[in-house]
Amino acid sequence: MRYSKNSLISEIRPQMLLDNKAFKRSNEILYVFYSADELALPFLSKIGIQKCIYLSEVLSPLKEVVLSFLNFIYLHKGPYSKDIQNILDHLVSMNAIEVDSFSTYKKKNSYVNYKITEAGKSLVENLIYDPLEKEKLQWIRIVLRLIDAYKDAFDLSEEYRGVDKIIGLIYQEPSFCEIKQGNRKEELIPMGDKNTLTMELIHFLEKVGETLPSSFDRVKYKLDLETVLLAFFEYLYVEYLSEKART
């Protein structure tokens, strides 16, 4: 393993990163940065990382990936996890990620943008020798690729830039949307394979072919995992455009 001499990473044994729950959360966030780097996304902002982690977590039961769940609440306008900022600070202190630049949000607030370091990439490449960790990375990679595919969709959250633009889709995410519509601020957003609205929609998509009457070619509309995910993203986008058309 080659780490920067100044890095704290060199003092951490990989096994320790796998055993400790707090470290597991850090790893998962690091996988988001790693996947973003693979997609040539220059950086992730504080807003962007919150949204990427939220989608990775709320959809994870679809692939039965066990992520070390963070708690997301409805704060201000979207889902928010206070743990993420602490973990970002921790990852910066470890030199696994670094501050890339600053961006402005709605022309008034400024936010830090982060990117993964070479040391962070090496760390991920070692962590994924563990099959469970590799599975988590693969899952996050799929979600990030879809985020990347939709972030430039027509008319989406024009006041934002880059990955932050998916905020418009997050606002339509069913589990969050229900809490938002009830104006239940600071309420915990349900996660996991419980009876969440998100999973209800996902389970519906998994069996969508059977829903159609016999005049349709049902086999043609049977969806696999990636297509279910894509249909879910498209649904969020369609809901976003519908809301825009109404207002």
Partner 1 sequence: MINKKQVNKILKIITSSPALKVFKETQKIELLKFYNQLEALLKMDIPYGEVGEKIVLCIALTFGDQGEWNIFQKGELVRRIKEGLLDENNIILSNPEGNVITVIKGTYINDYVEAEEFSEKESLLVFFIKYMEFHLFINGKAIHYIANIMRPSREGVDTPEILPAREYRKLITNHHDRHVYKEAGSFKYWKKKPERILIDNPEIQFNKNLYSYLDLNVVDGHVDRGAPISGAEDIPDIRIITYESGDIYIIEIKCLGKTDSTKYYDDWANKGLFQLGIYLKDEKDSKTGVLVLYDGRKESKDIIWDHEIEWHPKMDRNPMRFFLESESASVKAKTIYTALKRKKRGL
Residues that bind partner 1 (CB under 8 A): 145-146, 148-150, 152-155, 200-201, 204-205, 208, 211-216, 221, 223, 226-227, 230-231, 234-235, 237-239, 241-242, 245-246
In the complex with partner 1, the residue whose CB is nearer, 105 or 235, is 235
Least Å distance, CB 40 to partner 1, is 9
Which of 119, 176, 154, 126 shows the shortest CA–CA distance to 234? 154
With beta carbons less than 8 A apart as the criterion, state whether 52 and 44 touch.
yes
Query: What single-letter DSSP state applies at residue 11?
Result: G
Distance separating alpha carbons of residues 9 and 26, to the nearest angstrom = 12
CA angle 75, 80, 83 (to 5 degrees): 130
In the complex with partner 1, the residue whose CB is nearer, 18 or 241, is 241
Least Å distance, CB 201 to partner 1, is 6
Least Å distance, CB 31 to partner 1, is 18
In the complex with partner 1, the residue whose CB is nearer, 9 or 140, is 140
In the complex with partner 1, the residue whose CB is nearer, 159 or 226, is 226
Q: 78 has which bridge partners?
A: 75
Least Å distance, CB 25 to partner 1, is 27
Q: How far is CA 209 from CA 191, 203, 214, 217, in A?
A: 26, 12, 10, 8
In the complex with partner 1, the residue whose CB is nearer, 96 or 144, is 144
